[in-house]
Copies of this chain bind each other. A is one copy, B any other.
Amino acid sequence: MDDRVHEHAEVLVDWSARIERGDHVVVRVAEGAHDLAVAVAEKLGERGATIATSYAADEVSRAYLRAHDGDFATPAQELALYEAADAVLSLGGGRNTFATADVDGATRQASATAVDPVREARLATDWVSTVHPTRSLAQQAGMSYAAYQDFVYDAVLRDWEALAGEMQELTSVLSAGSEVRLVTETTDLTMSIEGRTAVNSAASVAYDSHNLPSGEVFTAPYATEGTVHFDVPMTVSGSRIRDVTLRFEDGQVVEHSAAVGEEALTDVLDTDPGARRLGELGIGMNRGIDRVTDNILFDEKMGDTVHLAVGRAYDACVPDGEAGNDSAVHVDLITDVSDDSRLVVDGEVIQRNGRFRWEEGFDAGASA
């Protein structure tokens, strides 16, 4: 087995999930994640945790859902499993990213509603989601298998402690700040972040961060004004979307266009009133991720990018007693900020052309 599989397991168990002796751990294994499951089991054995394994196979879900009449019950046995678990490690990595493409939306939705208590029980644990590189994900990324493995391990095997420290700088700036302005050749957008809390998403439950890889700082903006252009291509609900432009007035999208997938974009924005407001401003800081692979787990953490999500805000960013933006959707859109860009907080340039204020090569002299 590739040594990096063992290193991945170690980062997951120790840095991300902080597993300790006696922890009751559920490991969810996707169809293609067997090797990572073996490496994770070894680490859990070393740590003296207990282990129970779920088989999270899309083809099994598809067969079950398509055969069902739609009157779903909550699976009491799975609920009991997660309620008794301290941590849940989800090892993604399937064999076909379209394995459930022919399950109809109503069935999917009815099942999700019945399974919601299970999902909530899982989210109440120290859960972490990661992916094992598979040929299917390499194909989704348009990459060879070997190159995709390199890509995944570059993203996952970081010096997380050092990155968490660096991200804390930005987290402090955003938590203390009132107004953010993002400027590129085709973007000039202003948002309020007054009273909102930024999250240092450092790929560890110790940071309330549940994805491996992670490497972003995010907050929940509001009162958005201006125009933003997203030049990173995305897949939203199975539709390719490219070169989105949104114009905001009074916090709401009042104009939108896309070079590709404009109809899908319109559908998203028409979901509910909250779908026209921002739910997230995220700044990608994982420079191990150096290309778009059409997988949001990686894309939104890419170094030198900024993403904005229309729709639902995360509770962690909003003070107790206050409501963040609410919506049935949360769709991330990404823009490259490596060139000809600046991110300005309360009149001070925090990042210019992808370099942060505290990094070497930061150009302090130019305009805010």
Contact = CB atoms under 8 A, between A and B. Distances in A.
B68 A45 contact: yes
Contacts of A60: 27, 29, 34, 37-38, 41, 51, 53
Interface string A63-86: 111111101111111111111110
A63 B77 contact: no
A173 to B, nearest CB: 40
Given A24-B76, A54-B53, A81-B77, A34 B48 contact: no
A176 interface: no
A64 B77 contact: no
Contacts of A53: 54-57, 60
A50 interface: yes
Interface string A122-142: 000000000000000000000
Contacts of A112: none
Interface size class on chain A is 35 or more
A30 to B, nearest CB: 10
A72 to B, nearest CB: 8
Contacts of A50: 72-78
A290 interface: no
A140 to B, nearest CB: 21
B84 A63 contact: no
A41 B26 contact: no
Given A60-B38, A77-B84, A85-B77, A67 B46 contact: yes
B38 A59 contact: yes
Nearest to A51: B64
Contact of A45 (B41, B65, B75, B76): B65
Interface centre among A56, A64, A83 (most CB of B within 10 A): A64
A120 to B, nearest CB: 16
Q: In the complex, which of the residues A39, A56, A69, A76 has the most CB atoms of chain B within 10 Å of its own CB atom?
A: A76
- Most chain-B CB neighbours within 10 Å: which of A67, A73, A81? A81
A91 to B, nearest CB: 10
A77 B52 contact: yes
A35 to B, nearest CB: 9
A263 interface: no
A47 to B, nearest CB: 9
Q: What are the 9 A-B residue pairs with the smallest beta carbon separation, nearest first?
A: A45-B67, A50-B75, A80-B84, A52-B78, A55-B55, A80-B80, A45-B68, A41-B64, A53-B55
Interface of A: 22, 24-27, 29, 31, 34, 37-39, 41-46, 48, 50-57, 59-61, 63-69, 71-85
